[in-house]
Amino acid sequence: MSDDTTRPAGAADGTDGVDPVLSLSNVDSGYGEVQVLDDLSIRLDPGEIVCLVGPNGAGKSTVLKTAFGMLTPWTGTVEYHGRDIGGMAPEEIVREGIGYVPQTDNVFGSLTIDENLRMGGVARDGGLEDVIETLYDRFPIIDRKRTAKAKTLSGGQRQVLAFARALVMEPDVLLIDEPSAGLAPNTADDVFEDVQEVNDMDTAILMVEQNVTKGLGISDRGYVLDQGTVRFEGTPEELLNDEEVSQLYLGG
Ligand X SMILES: Nc1ncnc2c1ncn2[C@@H]1O[C@H](COP(=O)(O)OP(=O)(O)OP(=O)(O)O)[C@@H](O)[C@H]1O
Positions that interact with ligand X (CB under 6 A): 31, 34, 36, 54, 56-62
Considering CB distances under 5 to 8 angstroms, the limit depending on partner class, which of ligand X, Mg ion, none binds residue 34?
Answer: ligand X
Question: Closest CB to ligand X among 60 and 165?
Answer: 60
If one asks whether residue 180 binds Mg ion (CB under 5 A), the answer comes out as no
Closer residue to ligand X, CB minimum distance, 148 or 250: 250
Cα 171 vs. chain centroid, distance in angstroms?
12
Window of 5-13, 18-26, 58-66, 67-75 that interacts with Mg ion by CB under 5 A: 58-66
- Rule CB under 5 A: is residue 61 a binding residue for Mg ion? yes
Compare residues 139 and 223 and give the one whose CB is closer to ligand X.
223
Q: Does 157 bind Mg ion (CB under 5 A)?
A: no
Binding partner selected for residue 31 from Mg ion, ligand X, none, CB under the kind-specific 5 to 8 Å limit = ligand X
Amino acid at 48: E
Give the residue among 249, 240, 252 at the shortest CA–CA distance from 215. 240
31 pairs with which residues across the strands? 34
Q: Looking at beta carbons, which pairs linking 26-29 to residues 24 or more positions away fall under 8 Å?
A: 26/75, 26/76, 26/77, 27/66, 27/73, 27/74, 27/75, 27/76, 27/77, 27/78, 28/73, 28/74, 28/75, 28/76, 29/62, 29/66, 29/71, 29/72, 29/73, 29/74, 29/76
| CB of residue 119 to ligand X, shortest distance in Å | 24
Q: Find which of ligand X, Mg ion, none residue 74 binds, CB within 5 to 8 Å per kind.
A: none
Q: How many residues bind Mg ion (CB under 5 A)?
A: 2
For residue 110, the partner it binds in ligand X, Mg ion, none, with Cβ less than 5 to 8 A by kind, is none
Q: Name the site residues for Mg ion (rule: CB under 5 A).
A: 60-61
